Amino acid sequence: MALPRTAGPVGDLGLLIARIALGVIFFAHGYQKVVQFGMAGVTESFRGMGVPVAEIAGPVVAYVELIGGALLILGAFTSIVSLILAVDMLVAALLVHLPMGVFIDNGGWELVGSLGAGALLLAAVGAGRYSVDRVLPGGKKPRSRGRSASTSAAASTSAAAEKSTGGATS
C-alpha cells in the first residue's frame, strides 16, 4: 500500500515550513564556512577534526550546504539535494560527532542527526505543493484525491483477468 505524499494543504504547508527551516540552517552553515571562515579556515578546521582529504572535503561541504540550503528554501531539486545533504550530515556524524555523545554542547550528534533526518524525510516525500519543483519540467504534480494510479492499475488488471476467465477465479 502506497502512502500519500502529503495530507493535502496542511501537509504541503508543513513541508514548506520544514523545507524553509532546514534550508535556512544549511544555508547559514554554508555561508559561515564560505564567507566567514573562508576555504583556508574550513580546510584547517576539517584537518583539525581529522576529516580525511580536508582540502577537498572542506570546500565541497561548504558549497553543498550553501547551495543546498538555498535550493531547499526554494524547493528546487528537493529530492536529490536533500539526499546529498543527508549524506553530508551522516558523514559529519560518523567522522566527528558520534564520539562526542548526543548533546551539541559537547560537540555531539544531535544537530547533525536532526538535520540529516529532516533532509532524508524531504528526500523521501518531496518538496510539496508550494515549491519550485512543482513548476519544473517533470516536477511532481498533485495526486488526485481518488484512487491512486497503482490502485487503478491493479483494479483494471483484476477486472480484465476476471473478464477473460468468465468470472472464474483460481
Q: What is the pLDDT of residues 80-121, one digit of tens each?
A: 999 999 999 999 999 999 999 999 999 999 999 999 999 999
Cα–Cα dist 130/51, whole Å: 37
What pLDDT was estimated at residue 87? 98
Cα–Cα dist 14/10, whole Å: 6
Cα–Cα dist 78/129, whole Å: 12
**Cβ neighbourhood burial of 5 (10 Å; 0-12, 13-18, 19+):** middle
Looking at this protein, which amino acid is placed at residue 45? S
pLDDT range class, residue 137, cuts 50, 70, 90 = confident
List the grid coordinates of 42.
Answer: 574550513
- Say which residues have a Cβ less than 8 Å from residue 123's Cβ, sequence separation at least 6: 78, 79, 80, 82, 83, 86
Q: At what angle do helices 110-125 and 8-31 cross, to 10 degrees?
A: 130
Judged against a pLDDT cut of 80, whether residue 7 lies above it is answered with no
Global pTM reads 0.79
pLDDT range class, residue 136, cuts 50, 70, 90 = confident
